[in-house]
Structure 1
Amino acid sequence: MTRQEFRQLLEKRTVFIDGATGTELQKRGMPAGVCPEKWILENSWAIQEVQKAYYEAGSDIVLAPTFTGTRIKLAEYGLENDLVEINRKLVRLTREIAPAGKFVAADISMTGKQLYPIGDLMFEDLVDCYKEQVQAILSEGVDLFVVETMMSLQECRAAVLAIKESCDLPIIVSLTYNPDGKTLYGTSPETAIIVLQSMGVDCVGMNCNTGPDAMLELVNQMAPVANVPIMVKPNAGLPELENGKTVYKMTPVEFTDACEKLYEAGASLFGGCCGSTPDHIRELVLRLKDKKAHQIQDKPLRVVTSERMNTWIDLDGNFMVIGERINPTGKKKFQETLRNGSLSMVVDFAREQEERGASILDVNMGMNGIDEKQMMLDSIYEVTSAVDLPLCIDTSHVDVMEAALRIYPGRALINSISAEEEKMESMLKLAKKYGAMFITLPLSGAGLPKDINEKKQHIDTVLNKAAELGIRKEDAVIDVLVQTVGAEGTAALQCFETIEYCKYELGLPTVCGLSNISFGMPNRGFVNTTYLTIAVSKGLTMAIANPNQEMLMYCAAAADTLMNKPGALEKYAALPVVETKAAPAQAAGNAQAAPASSGGLTVSNACDGVGPVAECVIKGKKGQIVAEIQKLLDEGIEPQTIIEKHLIKGINVVGELYDKKKYFLPQLIAGANAMEIGMKHIEPLLASKDTEAKAKIVIATVEGDIHDIGKNLVALMLKNYGFEVIDLGKDVPAETIIDKAVEVNADIIGLSALMTTTMMRMDDVVKLAKEKGCNAQIIIGGACINETFKDEINADGYSEDAAECVKLVQRLMNI
């Protein structure tokens, strides 16, 4: 099936994919803890029976059971060398029973390993891992690919690149969302679909983790920005415990009633996940097959994103600043730190500019004495972990640009693409491949344009080439190319004319490098801000500037206010009051231009008064925390005091920010890792090692479940709070857990499960503990677990995340 045929199918009618595979195979005897691929190949009748039932129920697409067929997952069973044979046979089983006119999709999912910088799996290694599986599947032949049950947008990107670099088949990507409406890594449905469709994905949606009712709000977020069809594949409600078994009680009629609302919200492709059966799919098809197909509008979306934030570029919106400070040009101290391999100033500049009101951050690593490509990659890893703002990738080298766009976990802005023939097409192809927006610089190989007409010609040259490559003109932002007024008296006038031409004739946003206008002039602050206010009145959209410049930020806000832009008056009124006696040139850069805090803990004020060690924990400064701890030790501060008054204080703030959804998984792990480094430095100094652990905790992912991201984070957080943690790993039998708890006289047993198919193993542990007289309190957690399930199996506690687990353990231990 070609991508065009797939799109035409969805424009013709509602399309149906299959339902649950795992729960259906369990009904047919698949035990927990086995390698699913191996069991399926040894019991091929079972998978073919399930798949035939789904085709007969009306599914247009059925997934081949290649869900965990990557090298990383198969290695957990010692089967990695059989990868090609396993994937080919699994596809073949499905193709054998696929009726004419129906389709077979390859199924790809998470590897269970975390990507760098949270984990140790490098992005390119993950692309290669997926590519190996994709090519094995392609050697047997499928009609399309489904990348499903994904928790990380970056892992989705890796899988998409692996597929697109191997073939041109249709791609569906489906993520799973937590009750807060975001992925584990803080990505919203709106961000996910913006990024993935810009990369050329043909359908984006959601599956697992919830029933159809809870998906309605998620579809409502996706629909306004969707340029591709939306898929929904919900569970048959939430799992319940009945007679010692996990059951899904949502009937096919109830399931379809809820899915009808999803259709009305904009979903076009329907299926089922955990607990759904051929009967659920049959009822779906019966009710929805004659529904009129949604006509997908191909809307231009002028937006850039990070993994956790969208920044819309609105022609008539408020003026925005692209923070310019992560650029070593003219910054000797910054250059020195980069040559020494330190990125501390990169992170400091990023955080500072975010707090001061920047909307996007420009990242430029162009300087002598460093490996620009590697430093660019390292900086992107650091900045995207530290702040939420989208990035503008700033380099003149095509290879550096591609390396940066490849690992960037969002939709970036390219700075910049000129009419220089040698690079223009290469850079535009990168924008197309990675779905980026780009700044158009009206320059050619001949140098600066002689006049406004030549400037317009260069703009048209870039836009026309972009159109040839299938790129919308709306993906462009035009740099008005500011020259210094000291050398060219009409420089500002030419810029104003360019701004008006771009906004009113081309309908495109504009940007400028603000400080160029005053180069070589005295009292530059007056020239810059006057130029800015006039440019804003002409329609300038944004500038690459230093948001620390108070005069610039206030004048821009005042200009927006005087032009009556939406929300501008409220934004201006919220700015801190400043002294008016200071000369503008002196005031620039001295005061914070961000709105004053309205009270309560925020990322901006989180470090107020906590001290440098706690700040290192809060901001995840792994490279600085040992030096800050050593300063306190040199001052005579006792090690135990540093733990209690500094490290614990910092990690408490991290937990609170996480609770308030100001921080997400990357920041939580960064803080926990920084604290762990600090603890390792202090532990040898504790007097006679006589400081006893607060409690002994045995922790494990239960038998049959090989997911351990959440469990690992819980273990790390508990260790940081002084608990002794014995981590048994993943896929651990109940008897092993209880035997270890008895052996070490554990106070608490912590159990994790990600899958509904393995959550009942927790009940096994609770029952075995009673049989063996184990007195440890048992706490549980995981994506599929809730408070009700805790009560049903008589566990002692439940927590929804790592930060809450620490509080739970403290309550149970009366600490």
Structure 2
Amino acid sequence: MKIVSLEERGFTVELKAKLGKEIILFDGAMGTVLQQRGLKAGDVPEKLNIENSKEIIDIHKSYLKAGAEIITTNTFGANALKMQEIKYSVEEIITAGVENARQAVIELGVDAAVALDMGPLGELLEPMGSLTFDEAYDLYQQQVLVGVEYGADLIHIETISDLYEARAAVLAAKENSNLPVFCTLTFEEDGRTFTGGSIRSMISVLEGLGVDGIGLNCSLGPEKLEPLVEEVLEYSEKPVILQANAGLPIVEDGETVFKISPEDYFKPLARLYEKGLAVVGGCCGTNEEFISLIADNLKNKKVKERNVINESLVCSPSQYVNLAGVNVVGERINPTGKAAFKQALRNDDLDYILKVAVEEVDAGADILDVNLGLPEIEEKEMMVKIIKELQGILDTPLQIDSSDPEVIEEALKYYNGIAIVNSVNGEIEVLENTFPAVKKYGAAVIGLTMDDDGIPDTAAGRFEIAKRIVKKAAEYGISRDKIIIDCLTLTASAQQEGVKETLKALKMVKNELGVKTTLGVSNVSFGLPARPVLNRTFLSMALYQGLNLPIIDPNDEEMMAAVKAAAVLNNIDQGATEYIKYMAEVETNSAKTENSQEKNKSHDLKTVIVKGLKSEAANLTEEILKEKEALEVVNSYLIPALDIVGNRYEKGEIFLPQLVQSAETVKEAFAILKQDMASKGGRDISKGTIVMATVKGDVHDIGKNIVKTVLENYGYQIIDLGRNVNIKEVVQAVKENQIKLLGLSALMTTTVKNMEKTINAVREISPTTKIMVGGAVLTADYAKMIEADYYARDAREAVEIARKIFTD
């Protein structure tokens, strides 16, 4: 095939000009259309790019005839992880995929763009899974480079449920091409992704990375997705995309079908068009009839104007903080003046640092400052390590505190969210070294009002530096809502007049520049007695002048109370809801007492499991084993702790990363218990054996692996047959091990039929074996139709099913 140069891709330029101004029409589904045309359950659709290119070209042409202006290549799963079990390389599959799409455009002689389609990799990224961020990036980079070389007009990243994976894909696309990049995530009806990501976090992260279009696809029908798309329309400045399913699949006469008609599919789209929807198409269950109806009604229409709510957010995948209010930045992850913290850094004692972070969050910190500046350690390496660990156990946004641009760049690369960079100053060289990374990753940044000449004595001098920082940021495309100015707290014992100048400068910056403000509050009291009194007083004065981000120790209840009180008095905390809640918690915590050492041990072990502090769990388990038997530790400590985590997960108080981390923490405790049982010649503490498999033709392991991890840590032995498991292998494992419970997983609509076949085969040889099924395309009704005994919506439900089976 002729390699198409960027200069020859005229429609890419036209697309960019049209995007956000006129409705752009995508195509519909590929996989479900292929099923209707005879694709067998478990077959790999991407192989047809080479083995039956005529069929693929024909489907592309059907969408172009219907009015589609963008057609997606048949490369949804064409990454090296998923393609390793077929005889074709990623390059061969993608090259053929792009060529087929281009051929369809040429044959019809229409103006249409070819979108390189990139779907999920099929494995969870760390900390929930074993795939590293760098490995994910490399897999996507391979796809991008081939797609760009062979003529794709844009890159379409779709059906992603993990924001970390989306970041890897977008960075790979942006750093290895100059093509437009669209990215759509898949959400549940509750407004969360499978891994707990929120709409607002998605918007912040993807806009920060510079995508050209943002939205939702797959998972549900357009009516169910309508309120979620409305939220994107309300808060995103980018053109908004929707490619919904034709509803959830059901089973009729043994076949998977989608029941929503093109007319019913279009009704929510018409309403969303009136609210500003810009790019529309279809996902699973849609075909050319759906696209034709949309084209008849919307094609070439002007995109409706929106009044977007502009916010300044920092976020993790599941939690965001609006910088416009008053938010507490925890200051304790910092070695300055802390001998124990320094020693922990030298010893690579991550749990000590994580425990400090957990304590800060429990005390009420909204954002955590992370400062690891110690000459004896490799700061960049340690910063990345700590960030990965922190985002595995907490969903609190982070503030990257370093003066080294390389440390900042590396930290922002691996941080799964929008961070604050602390900090830059008025020196031009510092600004030029740091602002590129801030812009690239969409971070917020703190500017210190100091430069080559030090800290100005006057408020006016500091204000001038603040203006310089804001102006320089604008040159890099960094907006004011991303800028936080630190007017620098001076020590009252040495520079008493300077304290007043700090407050005066803060007010000027706030009122005249319209940016956010921060201060390290406790600096004011160095060298003076009764420091808490000075700190609290200075904090109150600064809050009155407009301080947004006080950097304090959140364990100081009176400082926290001052922040909560200021929010009430400034009419931010309307109804004093947060203030009342905080004060009630303070009173409750003060009243708590532990009556015995044993109670403390129990509480600590449960707490570290809930918090996900792995090495502490192992140490505490060893301590408790000096007085308790292994089975008692399991039943009295580990299982109740996991139940707490499960309940919090069900209520939406924590999300998948924290659930998996707690399960991994229990694994550390179980390892100690098993060693203890073996040394004493005791019986196995396993509660029963379960076989698990992802059915034939399905290469996705995500859901199964999560369920496996959680079940193992509830004490069940799991025989994991892996993914793409043929029916005979499942039957053999059930028969040889006399299995009471079998778990089957399928994520793709093209493989659910194999689940039914597997169930029927197992029933023939072991009618008493109970079977639970799960996966993104399954529902309780579908599970009933294929005669599974149980439908496990998530890992928590799988635990309850196992309890029932093995208790009975």
**Same fold, TM exceeding 0.5?**
yes
Distance 1:2 1:291, change over 3 A: closer
For residue 439 of structure 1, report the CA deviation from its aligned partner.
0.8
- Matching residue of 1:274: 284
From 760, 783, 786, the equivalent of 1:767 is 760
Distance 1:803 1:298, change over 3 A: closer
- Matching residue of 2:613: 621
From 424, 428, 431, the equivalent of 1:421 is 428
AA matched with 1:121: L
Distance 1:539 1:443, change over 3 A: same
User: Aligned partners of 2:659 and 2:570: how far apart in 1?
Assistant: 41
Q: Does the aligned pair in 1 maintain the 2:234–2:308 contact within 8 Å?
A: no
- Matching residue of 2:595: none
- Matching residue of 2:50: 41
Distance 1:532 1:694, change over 3 A: closer
Task: Map 1:169-568 onto structure 2 (within 5 A).
Answer: 169-289=179-299, 291-295=301-305, 300-314=310-324, 317=325, 319-567=326-574
Q: Does the aligned pair in 1 maintain the 2:49–2:96 contact within 8 Å?
A: no
SS in structure 2 of the partner of residue 795 of structure 1: coil
User: Aligned partners of 2:601 and 2:301: how far apart in 1?
Assistant: 60
1:794 paired with 2:804, answer no
User: Aligned partners of 1:34 and 1:670: how far apart in 2?
Assistant: 35
SS in structure 1 of the partner of residue 421 of structure 2: strand
Q: Does the aligned pair in 1 maintain the 2:276–2:303 contact within 8 Å?
A: no
- Matching residue of 1:812: 805
AA matched with 1:165: E
User: Aligned partners of 1:608 and 1:180: how far apart in 2?
Assistant: 37
Q: Does the aligned pair in 2 maintain the 1:742–1:774 contact within 8 Å?
A: no
User: Aligned partners of 2:459 and 2:647: how far apart in 1?
Assistant: 54
Q: Does the aligned pair in 2 maintain the 1:576–1:596 contact within 8 Å?
A: no
User: Aligned partners of 1:439 and 1:393: how far apart in 2?
Assistant: 10
Cα deviations by residue, 1:669-706 (Å, 9 ceiling, x for unpaired): 11111112221221243254534743332211111111
Task: Map 1:116-135 onto structure 2 (within 5 A).
Answer: 116-135=126-145
Distance 1:621 1:573, change over 3 A: closer
Q: Which moved more, 1:655-664 or 1:23-32?
A: 23-32
User: Aligned partners of 2:447 and 2:11: how far apart in 1?
Assistant: 33
- Matching residue of 1:587: none
Q: Does the aligned pair in 1 maintain the 2:708–2:718 contact within 8 Å?
A: yes
For residue 413 of structure 1, report the CA deviation from its aligned partner.
0.7
AA matched with 2:726: P
From 639, 643, 649, the equivalent of 2:640 is 649
SS in structure 2 of the partner of residue 184 of structure 1: coil
AA matched with 1:458: I
- Matching residue of 1:147: 157
Cα deviations by residue, 1:540-561 (Å, 9 ceiling, x for unpaired): 2221111111221222323333
Q: Does the aligned pair in 2 maintain the 1:66–1:106 contact within 8 Å?
A: yes
User: Aligned partners of 1:543 and 1:535: how far apart in 2?
Assistant: 9
User: Aligned partners of 2:12 and 2:563: how far apart in 1?
Assistant: 46
For residue 335 of structure 1, report the CA deviation from its aligned partner.
1.0
For residue 707 of structure 1, report the CA deviation from its aligned partner.
0.8
User: Aligned partners of 1:538 and 1:423: how far apart in 2?
Assistant: 28
From 165, 168, 183, the equivalent of 2:178 is 168
Distance 1:359 1:698, change over 3 A: same
For residue 629 of structure 1, report the CA deviation from its aligned partner.
1.2
For residue 78 of structure 1, report the CA deviation from its aligned partner.
5.4
Q: Does the aligned pair in 2 maintain the 1:227–1:297 contact within 8 Å?
A: no
Q: Does the aligned pair in 2 maintain the 1:700–1:732 contact within 8 Å?
A: yes
Distance 1:5 1:296, change over 3 A: farther
Q: Which moved more, 1:735-744 or 1:212-221?
A: 735-744
User: Aligned partners of 2:546 and 2:372: how far apart in 1?
Assistant: 30
From 691, 702, 711, the equivalent of 1:709 is 702
User: Aligned partners of 1:479 and 1:107: how far apart in 2?
Assistant: 44
SS in structure 2 of the partner of residue 697 of structure 1: strand
Q: Does the aligned pair in 2 maintain the 1:219–1:266 contact within 8 Å?
A: no
- Matching residue of 1:68: 77
Q: Which runs of 5+ in 1 are unaligned?
A: 578-591, 600-606
Cα deviations by residue, 1:274-298 (Å, 9 ceiling, x for unpaired): 1101001111111223644133567
User: Aligned partners of 1:438 and 1:703: how far apart in 2?
Assistant: 49
Task: Map 1:584-733 onto structure 2 (within 5 A).
Answer: 610-633=602-625, 635-686=626-677, 688-691=681-684, 693-733=686-726
Q: Which moved more, 1:718-727 or 1:465-474?
A: 718-727
Q: Does the aligned pair in 2 maintain the 1:212–1:234 contact within 8 Å?
A: yes
User: Aligned partners of 2:785 and 2:335: how far apart in 1?
Assistant: 59
AA matched with 2:539: L
User: Aligned partners of 1:469 and 1:501: how far apart in 2?
Assistant: 24
Q: Which runs of 5+ in 2 are unaligned?
A: 1-9, 593-598
Distance 1:407 1:78, change over 3 A: farther
SS in structure 1 of the partner of residue 19 of structure 2: helix
Q: Does the aligned pair in 1 maintain the 2:23–2:302 contact within 8 Å?
A: yes
1:22 paired with 2:31, answer yes
AA matched with 2:621: I
User: Aligned partners of 1:707 and 1:370: how far apart in 2?
Assistant: 40
Identity of aligned residues (%): 35
Q: Does the aligned pair in 1 maintain the 2:205–2:442 contact within 8 Å?
A: yes
1:56 paired with 2:69, answer no
For residue 609 of structure 1, report the CA deviation from its aligned partner.
8.2
For residue 814 of structure 1, report the CA deviation from its aligned partner.
3.5
- Matching residue of 1:582: none
SS in structure 1 of the partner of residue 551 of structure 2: strand
User: Aligned partners of 2:176 and 2:654: how far apart in 1?
Assistant: 36
SS in structure 2 of the partner of residue 231 of structure 1: strand
For residue 767 of structure 1, report the CA deviation from its aligned partner.
2.0
For residue 773 of structure 1, report the CA deviation from its aligned partner.
4.8
AA matched with 2:755: M
Cα deviations by residue, 1:229-267 (Å, 9 ceiling, x for unpaired): 111111111111011110111111111113223323432
User: Aligned partners of 1:734 and 1:668: how far apart in 2?
Assistant: 31
Cα deviations by residue, 1:299-333 (Å, 9 ceiling, x for unpaired): 6431111111110011xx3x321111111111101
- Matching residue of 1:741: 734
Q: Which moved more, 1:252-261 or 1:390-399?
A: 252-261
Q: Which moved more, 1:248-257 or 1:555-564?
A: 555-564
Q: Does the aligned pair in 2 maintain the 1:151–1:183 contact within 8 Å?
A: yes
User: Aligned partners of 2:71 and 2:730: how far apart in 1?
Assistant: 38
- Matching residue of 1:586: none
Q: Which moved more, 1:288-297 or 1:544-553?
A: 288-297
Q: How many residues align?
A: 788
User: Aligned partners of 1:303 and 1:716: how far apart in 2?
Assistant: 33
For residue 595 of structure 1, report the CA deviation from its aligned partner.
8.8
Cα deviations by residue, 1:75-100 (Å, 9 ceiling, x for unpaired): 23354xx3323322221111111143
Distance 1:565 1:175, change over 3 A: closer
Cα deviations by residue, 1:642-684 (Å, 9 ceiling, x for unpaired): 1221122222222111111112111111111111222122124
User: Aligned partners of 1:684 and 1:456: how far apart in 2?
Assistant: 63
SS in structure 2 of the partner of residue 209 of structure 1: coil
Distance 1:179 1:733, change over 3 A: farther
Q: Does the aligned pair in 2 maintain the 1:10–1:293 contact within 8 Å?
A: no
User: Aligned partners of 2:186 and 2:572: how far apart in 1?
Assistant: 37
From 14, 18, 29, the equivalent of 1:9 is 18
For residue 24 of structure 1, report the CA deviation from its aligned partner.
1.1
AA matched with 1:616: V
TM-score by length of structure 2 reads 0.94
Q: Does the aligned pair in 1 maintain the 2:491–2:525 contact within 8 Å?
A: yes
- Matching residue of 1:580: none
For residue 268 of structure 1, report the CA deviation from its aligned partner.
1.6
Q: Does the aligned pair in 2 maintain the 1:738–1:774 contact within 8 Å?
A: no
